[in-house]
Copies of this chain bind each other. A is one copy, B any other.
Amino acid sequence: MTLTDLATRTYNHSFRLDPIIRSLLDTDFYKLLMLQLIQSRHPATEVTFSLINRTQTVRLADVIDEAELREQLDHARTLRFTKQELIWLAGNTFYGVERMFRPNFLQWLANFQLPEYELRTVGGQFELSFTGPWAAATMWEIPALSIVNELRSRAALRHRGRFALDVLYARAKARLWEKVERLQELPDLALSDFGTRRRHGFLWQRWCVEALKEGLGDRFIGTSNVLLAMDADLEAIGTNAHELPMVAAAQARNDEELASAPYRVLEEWQEDYSGNLLIVLPDTFGTTSFLQEAPDWVADWTGFRPDSAPPIEAGEQIIRWWQEKGQDPRRKLLIFSDGMDVDSIMATYRHFHGRVRMSFGWGTNLTNDFRGCDPEGDAPLAPLSLVCKVTRVDGRSAVKLSDNPAKATGEPAEIARYLSVFGDIGRVSTPVRV
């Protein structure tokens, strides 16, 4: 038996020690890269980000107490970037580049605060949205998802006994370690943690990341979580996301501007960033049409991150396109990050090994896989397909078509208009892997 430290216990009860969001760096690195671009180039753009629970069968508002959710969201709004964090952002090297973040951006960050939120409960689901300048609202995406996911885990485990909990985590640790041992079979593996948004909880993600660091060595190239990257001296991993083309598309004044929006975004990106940050995310409005219409210079970028098509087909399609453009795929990079797990990582690795450089972003199945671990069954801890997407831009609906219609977001009329511009070729409905 260990001694109960009453002071600590009481302090914990008063919630300050173990909030879900401990730091504004507890977010994905790509948010900071995009934020610097947004803050300097689009300071006047007003957006709304909204929580979307694709797993409608789970009535979140029945599981999570709305007051607890408000308490966690309110706590996140009290956070500021600390002196130590800003010094690290200024002084650390990212992707081999020094001074990735400009001094005036870091000064702006020093006063950054998450903007207000709107929260209602409707039909067993939360309507949670964040409206404000793009450079403020965008920063809610990851904390909002982390908070909802961890509150659900905490609710599911609240009334479990001590030994039941001990067994649950023992099984989850064993399960992850078996995955690590299988991944050790892949000599040239390059794997990173992309699991912040869907994690079981912050402390569990930290355990997983430390396990990969010990178990995979150099094959573990880093984490998308900036706080964990700083605390564990790991590389921060990430580039850009769908919100950039989605906002550019929503701001298009006509169909021609809409058709060129995905490439306009890349032009801005390559003015601000270079090297391994030149990664194309091609599926926002369908990968096939993106490749058909892409200017030749897009083929000069370092790589692609297929995010909604099955990895092997998507990879083959991009490799063919590179070859048509006269590029050598062996000098290009493919980043696979859509619902990957050990089986799909190993199959994809073996399929493409030697033909193209690869790296894998391992998300939900790294930081939230409790299948077969819970004596009460998998349902209470089964990960949700929960996203927080930009839904409105300067008063207009934002749209994502995706390669998988099941992942499409936006008002039906706008979706139809986008389909008339980008077409529907190559889009295949498949069940959404978390």
Contacts and interface: CB of A to CB of B under 8 A. Distances in A.
Contact of A233 (B2, B83, B90, B231): B83
A190 interface: no
Contacts of A166: 3, 5
Interface string A218-230: 0000000000001
Contacts of A84: 88, 92, 230-231, 233
A87 interface: yes
Interface in A321-339: none
B91 A162 contact: no
A4 B3 contact: no
Interface in A156-176: 162-163, 165-166
17 contacts: A1-B1, A2-B2, A2-B4, A3-B162, A3-B166, A82-B233, A83-B92, A83-B233, A84-B92, A84-B230, A84-B231, A84-B233, A87-B88, A87-B91, A87-B92, A88-B91, A91-B91
Given A1-B2, A2-B4, 19 more contacts: A1-B1, A2-B2, A3-B162, A3-B163, A3-B165, A3-B166, A5-B166, A82-B233, A83-B233, A84-B88, A84-B92, A84-B230, A84-B231, A84-B233, A87-B87, A87-B91, A87-B92, A88-B91, A91-B91
A165 B5 CA distance: 11
Contacts of A88: 84, 87-88, 91
Interface of A: 1-5, 82-84, 87-88, 90-92, 162-163, 165-166, 230-231, 233
Contacts of A230: 84
Q: How many copies of this kind of chain does the complex include? A: 2
A4 B165 CA distance: 12
A162 B1 CA distance: 10
A305 to B, nearest CB: 27
A150 to B, nearest CB: 20
Contacts of A3: 162-163, 165-166
Most buried by B among A87, A162, A231: A87
Nearest to A82: B233
Contact of A91 (B1, B82, B90, B165): B90
Contacts of A82: 233
Nearest to A87: B91
A308 to B, nearest CB: 35
Contacts of A5: 166
A166 B7 CA distance: 11
Most buried by B among A82, A88, A163: A88
Contacts of A163: 3
Contacts of A231: 84
Most buried by B among A84, A88, A233: A84
A411 to B, nearest CB: 46
Nearest to A165: B3
Q: Considering the complex of A and B, which 7 residue pairs feature the smallest CB-CB distances, nearest first?
A: A87-B91, A91-B91, A3-B162, A83-B233, A1-B1, A90-B91, A2-B2
Nearest to A234: B83
A167 to B, nearest CB: 11
Nearest to A170: B7
Contacts of A1: 1-2, 4
A169 to B, nearest CB: 9
A84 B1 CA distance: 36
Contacts of A87: 87-88, 91-92
A82 to B, nearest CB: 6
A329 to B, nearest CB: 34
A165 B230 CA distance: 35
A165 B3 CA distance: 10
Nearest to A4: B2
A83 B93 CA distance: 10
Nearest to A3: B162
Contacts of A92: 83-84, 87
Nearest to A6: B166
A91 B98 CA distance: 13
